[in-house]
């Protein structure tokens, strides 16, 4: 048997090379810490019928929002092209709906009596660049934190444009108009949870534009006009408030209004 002699210098080189190979094969971070790119699904109302081959790609978009939501995983980005989309849909997982702007992408009522769009039992739903028009209730959000409406218009609801129950919701650069024809109903009605309005415009937004029942709210640069009775009503959520002092303290603690015209 032949004995091989290896110098210390050569051995060090081999070890360095082995270390480099092992390092290149090792993940830079544990798999559960990596962030995957979101799934992107395209929808185009310009296709009159649902294509059997539609897969949500730019070349083969879905023709309806309902079709896209059936296959959308949590965290998906659903891109809505210009056009009108029948909604009446329920969102039960985190998703982003992004339109081409409130003047170009519209969600319209589906089944009679149902909200145009409802969110229930999940957080982090985002609506961007679209309009929700008509219906008795435009958007219902029940539960969850981190919901965002950015550059969204709610128009022409019969009773309430935005109905919030025990949820954390932010509206940014958004508009509410012609709820209850400015004579009945509400622009926004919130019970519990939190509400943040930033750079928002409310016009003819119901009998009362914003109604808060035990909701912590921040209103920044909000412009309200032409509601039949009042711009804002805030209570502690109990119709039987013990004293005016109790109500005043709640409003002081829970409601902040900055640079707004009410």
Question: 42, 106, 47: which is closest to 79 by C-alpha?
Answer: 42
131-137 — which CB contacts under 8 Å span 24+ positions?
131/99, 131/102, 131/103, 131/105, 131/106, 131/107, 131/155, 132/87, 132/106, 132/107, 132/161, 133/106, 133/107, 133/108, 134/108, 134/109, 134/158, 135/109, 136/160, 137/161, 137/163
Confidence band for 262, pLDDT divided at 50, 70 and 90: confident
Percent composition of the chain: helix, strand, coil (DSSP 3-state, to 5)? 15, 45, 40
Task: Enter the tokens of residue 259.
Answer: 């640079």
Cα four-point dihedral sign 23, 26, 27, 30: negative
Q: How far is CA 240 from CA 213, 246, 247, 253, in A?
A: 12, 11, 10, 19
Average pLDDT for 32-36:
45
Q: Are 132 and 154 in contact, with CB atoms under 8 Å apart?
A: yes
Confidence band for 250, pLDDT divided at 50, 70 and 90: very low
According to DSSP, the residues that pair with 68 across neighbouring strands are none
Confidence band for 237, pLDDT divided at 50, 70 and 90: low
Q: 20: burial class by Cβ within 10 Å (0-12, 13-18, 19+)?
A: exposed
Average pLDDT, the chain: 83
pLDDT for 254: 63
Confidence band for 258, pLDDT divided at 50, 70 and 90: confident
Q: 85: burial class by Cβ within 10 Å (0-12, 13-18, 19+)?
A: buried
Spatial distance between the Cα atoms of 107 and 125, rounded to a whole number of angstroms: 16
Q: Are 141 and 115 in contact, with CB atoms under 8 Å apart?
A: no
Q: Where are the domains of the chain?
A: 82-258
pLDDT tens digit string along 157-213?
999 999 999 999 999 999 999 999 889 999 999 999 999 999 999 999 999 999 999
Percent of the chain scored above 90 by pLDDT? Answer: 67
Task: Enter the tokens of residue 152.
Answer: 């969204």
Confidence band for 257, pLDDT divided at 50, 70 and 90: confident
**If residue 22 lies in a helix (H) or strand (E), which one and from where to where?**
helix 8-25
Question: 183, 189, 133: which is closest to 160 by C-alpha?
Answer: 189
pLDDT for 187: 97
Question: 166, 177, 165: which is closest to 225 by C-alpha?
Answer: 177
Spatial distance between the Cα atoms of 87 and 81, rounded to a whole number of angstroms: 15
Task: Enter the tokens of residue 122.
Answer: 């999940």
pLDDT tens digit string along 70-116?
999 999 999 999 999 999 999 999 999 999 999 999 999 987 789 99
Does the domain spanning 82-258 belong to CATH 1.10.3720.10?
A: no
Cα four-point dihedral sign 218, 149, 94, 141: positive
Average pLDDT for 41-67:
86
């Amino acid at each position: 048997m032949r004995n091989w002699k290896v110098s210390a210098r050569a051995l060090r080189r081999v070890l360095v090379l082995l270390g480099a190979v092992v390092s290149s094969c090792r993940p830079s971070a544990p798999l559960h810490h990596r962030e995957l790119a979101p799934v992107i699904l395209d929808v185009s109302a310009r296709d009159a019928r649902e294509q059997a081959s539609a897969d949500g790609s730019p070349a083969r978009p879905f023709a309806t929002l309902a079709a896209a939501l059936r296959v959308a995983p949590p965290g998906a980005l659903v891109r809505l092209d210009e056009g009108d989309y029948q909604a009446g849909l329920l969102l039960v997982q985190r998703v982003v709906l992004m339109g081409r702007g409130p003047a170009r992408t519209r969600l319209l009522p589906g089944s009679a009596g149902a909200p145009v769009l409802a969110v229930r039992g999940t957080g982090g739903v985002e609506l961007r660049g679209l309009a929700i028009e008509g219906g008795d209730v435009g958007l219902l959000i029940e539960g969850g934190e981190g919901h965002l409406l950015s550059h969204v218009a709610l128009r022409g609801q019969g009773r309430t444009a935005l109905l919030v129950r025990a949820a954390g919701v932010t509206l940014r650069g958004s508009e509410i108009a012609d709820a209850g024809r400015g004579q009945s109903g509400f622009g926004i009605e919130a019970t519990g949870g939190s509400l943040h309005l930033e750079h928002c415009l409310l016009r003819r937004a119901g009998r009362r534009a914003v109604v808060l029942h035990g909701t912590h709210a921040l209103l920044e640069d909000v412009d309200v006009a032409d509601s039949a009775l009042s711009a804002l009503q805030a209570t502690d959520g109990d119709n039987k408030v013990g004293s005016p002092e109790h109500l005043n303290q709640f409003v002081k603690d829970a409601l902040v209004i900055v640079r707004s015209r009410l």
